[in-house]
């Protein structure tokens, strides 16, 4: 069973209000998925669509400050008073994404990629805020999140990688240098991005809305959020050429895999109250996937 973090205040919410909140969050997600299906958005455009949805949901539906998306207790965000280390990390990530912004635009002139990189640069501010508010008590949730959600994803990726190498035979395995470079580039993008796209919605907004500390159904709501996280991927991985049977198989795989991984991400978001915990694990495993050439 989920345990409440130290200092958690008991909730006065009623079962009816929890059901209402579940339906509210699900409705917003449903609109997001429907637009993705209808417009046939690619992965990056689909992700970017979540930015206005998350902001509107947080301000109008949750009626909570944006900073509560990144640190649940929502201490005041004062950039000038952020720790020096947090500022330096933000500057390093911002500089890396400025380079990537130039490279992507020069190579493709894709405005979707340009917007994605601008989001990554903007995401360095909440990244610094989360680092500033990261405490020693959050180290254990971070390590546990990595050991659970992280190990599941990395384990599946490693098996998938070697099965592909065996199947293709002629394909040369990824070199350590190639893996390291791809992993570093991906982490430079993904870590700040998760503070404004995808992870910020499913943990910072959705999970925080459907479950308040002290309520019933802690495990059920964590699983529900995670299953919807799996379903959310469907519009960008499904192709009409797969047919009905193929679509059902893909949806089932998404629900099982993302349901397991997302459950742990929600658990340790709740235990830490800092998006750096699930966000860094999410960015880490996606970067491993890219390093292995599985994207």
Q: Give residue-wise pLDDT tens across range 24-45.
A: 999 999 999 999 999 999 999 9
The answer to whether residue 5 scores a pLDDT higher than 70 is: no
**For the chain, how big is the Rg over CA atoms in Å?**
19
Locate the DSSP E strands across 93-236. Answer: none
Secondary structure string (H, E, C) spanning 8-69:
CCCCCCCHHHHHHHHHHHHHHHHHHHHHHHHHCCCHHHHHHHHHHHHHHHHHHHCCCCHHHH
Residue 20 CA to chain centroid, in angstroms? Answer: 24
What pTM was computed for the model? 0.92
Q: Give the residue, 249 or 10, on which the prediction is more confident.
A: 249
Q: Specify the pLDDT at position 207.
A: 97
Given a contact cutoff of 8 angstroms between Cβ atoms, the answer to whether 44 and 116 are in contact is yes
Closest C-alpha among 260, 258, 265 to residue 280: 265
* Residue 198 Cα distances to 18, 33, 51, angstroms: 22, 13, 8
Given a contact cutoff of 8 angstroms between Cβ atoms, the answer to whether 193 and 119 are in contact is yes
Domain ranges within the chain, ordered by starting residue: 15-74+137-291
How much is the average pLDDT of 118-144? 98
Helices and strands in the chain: count of H runs, count of E runs: 14, 0
Tokens of 212: 């308040």
3-state secondary structure of 71: strand
The answer to whether residue 214 scores a pLDDT higher than 80 is: yes
Q: Specify the pLDDT at position 235.
A: 94
Computed over every residue of the chain, the mean pLDDT equals 92
The answer to whether residue 166 scores a pLDDT higher than 90 is: no
The answer to whether residue 234 scores a pLDDT higher than 90 is: yes
How much is the average pLDDT of 221-230? 97
3-state secondary structure of 198: coil
How much is the average pLDDT of 181-209? 97
How much is the average pLDDT of 212-227? 94
Tokens of 51: 């930015």
* % of the chain surpassing 70 pLDDT: 94
Name the pLDDT band for 4 (thresholds 50, 70, 90).
low
Q: Specify the pLDDT at position 10.
A: 45
Q: Specify the pLDDT at position 241.
A: 87
Name the pLDDT band for 110 (thresholds 50, 70, 90).
confident
Name the pLDDT band for 9 (thresholds 50, 70, 90).
very low
Instruction: Determine the Cα–Cα distance for residues 149 and 146; give it in Å rounded to an integer.
Output: 6
How much is the average pLDDT of 80-93? 96
Q: Give the residue, 249 or 170, on which the prediction is more confident.
A: 249
How much is the average pLDDT of 162-167? 86
């Amino acid at each position: 069973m989920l345990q409440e973090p130290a200092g958690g205040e008991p909730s006065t919410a009623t079962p009816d209000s929890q059901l209402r909140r579940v339906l509210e969050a699900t409705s917003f997600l449903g609109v997001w998925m429907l637009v993705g299906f209808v417009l046939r958005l690619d992965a990056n455009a689909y992700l970017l669509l979540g930015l206005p949805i998350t902001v509107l949901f947080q301000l109008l539906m949750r009626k909570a400050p944006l900073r509560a998306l990144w640190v649940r207790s929502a201490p005041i965000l004062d950039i000038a008073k952020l720790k020096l280390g947090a500022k330096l990390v933000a500057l390093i990530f911002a500089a890396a994404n400025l380079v990537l912004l130039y490279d992507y635009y020069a190579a493709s002139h894709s405005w979707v990629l340009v917007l994605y990189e601008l989001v990554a640069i903007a995401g360095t501010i909440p990244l610094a805020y989360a680092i500033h508010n990261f405490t020693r008590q959050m180290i254990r949730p971070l390590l546990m999140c990595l050991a659970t959600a992280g190990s599941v994803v990395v384990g599946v990726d490693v098996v998938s990688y070697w099965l592909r190498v065996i199947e293709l035979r002629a394909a040369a395995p990824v070199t350590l240098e190639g893996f390291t470079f791809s992993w570093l580039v991906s982490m430079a993008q993904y870590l700040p991005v998760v503070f404004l796209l995808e992870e910020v919605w499913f943990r910072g907004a959705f999970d925080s809305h459907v479950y308040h500390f002290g309520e019933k159904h802690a495990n059920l709501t964590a699983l529900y959020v995670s299953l919807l996280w799996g379903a959310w991927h469907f519009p960008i991985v499904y192709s009409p050429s797969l047919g009905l049977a193929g679509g059902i198989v893909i949806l089932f795989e998404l629900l099982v895999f993302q349901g397991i991984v997302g459950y742990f991400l929600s658990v340790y978001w709740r235990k830490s109250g800092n998006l750096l915990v699930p966000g860094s694990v999410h960015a880490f495993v996606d970067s491993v996937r890219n390093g292995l050439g599985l994207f």
